[in-house]
Amino acid sequence: MSGNLGIQRLRAVSDCIRQIAALFGDKKDQKVRVRPKNRKPTTFPCNAGSRYSFTALVWIILGFFLVFHLVSVTQHRENKDSREIQSRGSPLPRTMFRELEVVEEMKNINIPPPRGKRSPRAQKRKTNRWLPPIIEEFLNEDSQLRHIFFPSRKNAVDPMKMTENDSLYYFPGRVWLDTDGNAIQAHGGCILHDERSGTYYWYGEYKDGVTYRAHRKAAARVDIIGVGCYSSKDLWTWKNEGIVLAGEETNETHDLHKSNVLERPKVVYNQKTGKYVMWMHIDDANYTKASAGVAVSDRPTGPFQYLGSKRPHEFDSRDMTVFKDDDGSAYIIYSSENNSVLHIGPLTDDYLHVKNVVRRILIGRHREAPALFKHHGTYYMITSGCSGWAPNEAMAHASESVMGLWETLGNPCVGANKVFRQRTFFSQSTFVFPVQGHPGLFIFMADRWNPSDLRDSRYVWLPLVVAGPSDQPLELGFGFPLWSRVSIYWHRKWRLPNGWSTLR
């Protein structure tokens, strides 16, 4: 089918070129007719002094190459997409893709008029004119819309008690309980698929403490408790494996002293050394240390030994992630230069240090919360804007090489309503990982931060699909789509397709 389509397209292209050539031919004739007889040719004498025929020829050749290139790129992408959809190990791939594209719409949110009864903090925020009203509502603990953003604990997802109808379903934004019935504490986290034990591990910030501000102007915070770890075979039922990297209670000079900041831990397994390596954002309460810390363990469940922190490439480093490529090389990606630029650079072979190579990417775009993934040789990344704990618009980016050039594809969020799409469904990206056995299908992990009670921040897990041509005109493609589209589909409730390879 796709082969025939390609031939048809090529025919259409060559017809089109023939028509263009004819058009140029006519013009040439007309011009030649009005030219004074005694005028000498001034251009390359390819044909009786006609510069038009030469220009036309050049344009035709250029046009042909451009159109041919575009046809082959589209064809290549189409083949890739159809390969994906008919691909390996998946009994119902087509159905699966269709199901995931059923995007849930939501009624518009009506922002209630301000009420008398508001907390002093919320009252003060009323004067913050730069905040859109919906973000005001999101940040206001007394908002009438609170239940939309932070459904009550009565609606918690408890995999141990869920009815069969709701079994294995994700409910983005609801409290999610572990196998002991406690709310999962793994914020700003990541998933490690540990092939050795056939288990998924979820690492993240363990924030089950009191939220406060170190001083009037400081961001809301919870003292460092450590990095939490949970294990699962089905990505839905999570067993608490404890705190695998603990905060420091007494030594005030230690990076992990409770008064500091530990955010966005990311764990990768190093095949060569057989070690599990954790990278994280290390900071002081004012976010001026801006460093990256590293820890190592022999087992996925720790304990991790903290090795120290550094400013990578001697630059400030705040939100960060680590990406491990198929060839085993790993990269650190971090917001730098006061969050105005992302930096990306390779780690050493043991993943414990940053090599002395760095690229500045998305310069001047002010992006943070990077989540990088790869599909069919192309690198993709989701980022957020910089607005503290308040949600903002996500962007998808793509590149043929991990070190760039990175191009911005646009907002990947689909469904719900505009307010939700423009705020990443009221969440912030943290990690994207592939669903085994379904090429092109990923899980987008995000945090719905609750700045008035950070321990009650929620998880927004949604299906992310890489398929179809990108719908934004792009810089590198001269206005034509060069990349596949990245879509994060809103679902109030969803589950992975039947037959995805659950680990046993």
Q: Would you tell me which residues interact with ligand DGJ (CB under 6 A)?
A: 188, 219, 263-264, 319, 368-369, 388-389, 428
- Compute the least distance from the CB of residue 453 to ligand DGJ, in Å: 15
Q: Which of 289, 324, 306 minimizes the C-alpha distance to 245? A: 306
The nearer residue to ligand DGJ, 258 or 495, going by C-beta atoms, is 258
**Strands (DSSP E) along 27-155, which ranges?**
none
Dist CA 60 CA 28 (whole Å): 14
Alpha carbon dihedral 394, 395, 398, 403, in 10-degree steps, equals -80
The nearer residue to ligand DGJ, 388 or 473, going by C-beta atoms, is 388
Q: Kind of pairing, strands 484-489 and 413-414?
A: parallel
- Confirm if 223 and 493 have CB atoms less than 8 A apart: no
Beta bridge partners of 266: 279
The nearer residue to ligand DGJ, 261 or 402, going by C-beta atoms, is 261
- Compute the least distance from the CB of residue 74 to ligand DGJ, in Å: 36
- Compute the least distance from the CB of residue 449 to ligand DGJ, in Å: 7
The nearer residue to ligand DGJ, 149 or 389, going by C-beta atoms, is 389
Structure tokens at 145: 């819309």
Structure tokens at 471: 């719908």
Q: Which of 371, 398, 392, 373 minimizes the C-alpha distance to 383? A: 371
Q: Which of 189, 187, 171 minimizes the C-alpha distance to 431? A: 189
Dist CA 73 CA 3 (whole Å): 14
Q: How far is CA 281 from the centre of its chain?
A: 18
The nearer residue to ligand DGJ, 188 or 439, going by C-beta atoms, is 188
The nearer residue to ligand DGJ, 90 or 427, going by C-beta atoms, is 427
The nearer residue to ligand DGJ, 31 or 213, going by C-beta atoms, is 213
The nearer residue to ligand DGJ, 174 or 318, going by C-beta atoms, is 318
- Compute the least distance from the CB of residue 470 to ligand DGJ, in Å: 26
- Compute the least distance from the CB of residue 275 to ligand DGJ, in Å: 26
- Compute the least distance from the CB of residue 314 to ligand DGJ, in Å: 21
Describe the crossing of helices 93-100 and 51-85 by its angle, rounded to 10 degrees: 100
- Compute the least distance from the CB of residue 340 to ligand DGJ, in Å: 15
Alpha carbon dihedral 240, 241, 245, 249, in 10-degree steps, equals 60
CA distances from 163 to 181, 219, 240, 460 (A): 15, 40, 22, 21
- Compute the least distance from the CB of residue 386 to ligand DGJ, in Å: 7
**Position of tokens 């046993």?**
504
- Confirm if 201 and 231 have CB atoms less than 8 A apart: yes
The nearer residue to ligand DGJ, 131 or 474, going by C-beta atoms, is 131
- Compute the least distance from the CB of residue 245 to ligand DGJ, in Å: 17
Dist CA 309 CA 332 (whole Å): 13
Write out 386-413 in H/E/C secondary structure. Answer: CCCCCCCCCEEEEECCCCCCCEEEECCE
The nearer residue to ligand DGJ, 157 or 395, going by C-beta atoms, is 395
- Compute the least distance from the CB of residue 211 to ligand DGJ, in Å: 12
